[in-house]
Amino acid sequence: MTVRHPEKIHKKSNPIPRKPSWIKIKASQANSFKFTRDIIKKNDLVTVCEEANCPNISECWQKKYATFMILGDTCTRACSFCNVKTGKPNTIDIFEPDKIAKTVKELELEHVVITSVDRDDLPDGGAKHFINVINCLRSECPNTTIEILTPDFLKKYEAKKILSQSLPDIFNHNIETVPRLYPTIRPGSRYFVSLELLNDFKKINSKIFTKSGLMVGLGETIDEIYQVMDDLRSADVDFLTIGQYLQPSEKHSKIEKFVSPQEFNKFKKMAYAKGFLMVSSSPLTRSSYNASNYFTKLKATRERHKK
Q: Is residue 17 part of a domain?
A: no
At residue 60, the pLDDT reads 74
Buried b (16+ CB within 10 A) or exposed e, 185-194: bbebbebeeb
Q: Is residue 191 part of a domain?
A: yes
Rounded to 5°, the CA angle 280-163-193 comes to 65
Q: Which one, of 284, 234, 254, lies nearest residue 10 by Cα?
A: 254
Q: How far is CA 223 from CA 24, 209, 217, 255, 299, in A?
A: 28, 26, 14, 19, 32
Q: Is residue 13 part of a domain?
A: no
At residue 52, the pLDDT reads 63
Number of H helices, E strands in the chain: 12, 7
Q: Is residue 7 part of a domain?
A: no
At residue 295, the pLDDT reads 66
Q: Is residue 19 part of a domain?
A: no
- What is the span of the domain harbouring residue 282? 28-306
At residue 248, the pLDDT reads 84
Q: Consecutive 10-residue runs of the chain (307 residues): their mean pLDDT?
A: 47 82 75 80 82 67 81 92 89 96 92 94 97 97 94 96 94 97 94 97 92 96 98 97 92 94 98 96 84 67 55
At residue 8, the pLDDT reads 46
Q: Terminal CA-to-CA distance of the chain, rounded, Å?
A: 55
Query: Looking at residue 118, what DSSP letter applies?
Result: -
Q: Is residue 68 part of a domain?
A: yes
In the chain, how many domains are there? Answer: 1
pTM: 0.90
